[in-house]
Amino acid sequence: SQTIHQWPATLVQPVGSPLSLECTVEGTSNPNLYWYRQAAGRGLQLLFYSVGIGQISSEVPQNLSASRPQDRQFILSSKKLLLSDSGFYLCAWSPPPTGPFYGYTFGSGTRLTVV
Amino acid sequence: AQTVTQSQPEMSVQEAETVTLSCTYDTSENNYYLFWYKQPPSRQMILVIRQEAYKQQNATENRFSVNFQKAAKSFSLKISDSQLGDTAMYFCAFMKLPPNTGNQFYFGTGTSLTVIP
C-alpha cells in the first residue's frame, strides 16, 4: 500500500534562518506531488506541485522554493524565513493520470512557527 | 476559473443527530470530481467521500452521504448519527478532468463542525 511521510512534525525557527521540509511517498511510482500551506483557521493554499523529477510549478511567488531530487521525494525550502511563513504545511500526492481519481492523499503536516 | 464556496464557517450538532454541510461550486466543465475532506484537531487531512459528476447516484460512505445537484452546482454533505469524533474542519473540493494535472484541485474555505455531547 502507498504511504506518505512528512517531517518534521513541528518546527520553530528564527526569522532569517533557512528551512527544509521533506516529504516522501512509498509504494507508488511517478506520483504527482504537492505542497500546501494552511494559515490558522484558514483554507489551503497550493504552493508548489510537481508531475515529475525536476519539474516544479509554483503557484504563489514568495521566498519559498521546492525541489524534487528523486521520484518520490519532495522538498520545501527557504533561504531566509519571514514571520509570514509561519503556518501549517501539508504535503500531498496523487497517482499519475491513469484510471479513476480518488483524490489527494495528505501527509500529517508540519507546524512551522517563525519567531 | 473554478471556485468552491462553503457558506457556513461554523456549525454545531448534538451527538447522534444529523447535520448537513453546504458546498456550491462554479464551473463550466461537464466532467469533474467532487470531494469532502475532514481535518480533525490533529490536522491530518482525511478523505471522507468522493463523487464523480457523470454519476447521478449520490455517493454514500457509512454515516456520510452527499446530495449532488449538478444543475444547481451544489454538493452538500450529510452526517448521520453524529459522533464526537466527527468534530473537525470539513473542506469541499473540486477537481476537473483530466485529473492529476497539478493545480486543478480547488478547495473551499472550510466549515468547522463541533459535535456537542
Contact B115, A45 (CB under 8 A): no
In this predicted model, which residue has the larger pLDDT, A61 or B59? B59
Return the bridge partners of A46, or none: A36
Q: How many domains does chain A have?
A: 1
The pLDDT score that the predictor gives to residue A85 is 93
C-alpha cell at A34: 504537492
CATH number of the domain where residue A109 is located: 2.60.40.10
Contact B89, A39 (CB under 8 A): no
Domain spans, chain B: 3-116
**pLDDT class of A98 with cuts at 50, 70, 90:** low
The pLDDT score that the predictor gives to residue B96 is 81
Q: What is the mean pLDDT of residues A67-96?
A: 94
> Within B1-117, where are the H helices?
none
| CATH architecture, domain B3-116 | Sandwich (2.60)
C-alpha cell at A33: 506531488
The boundaries of the domain holding residue A110 are 3-114
Nearest to A102 among B43, B50, B97 (CB): B50
Query: Measured between CA atoms, how close is A75 to chain B, in angstroms?
Result: 16
Q: Rounded distance, CA A112 to CA A13, Å?
A: 8
Contact residues, B window 34-93, toward A, CB-based 8 Å cutoff: 35, 37, 42-47, 50, 52, 91, 93
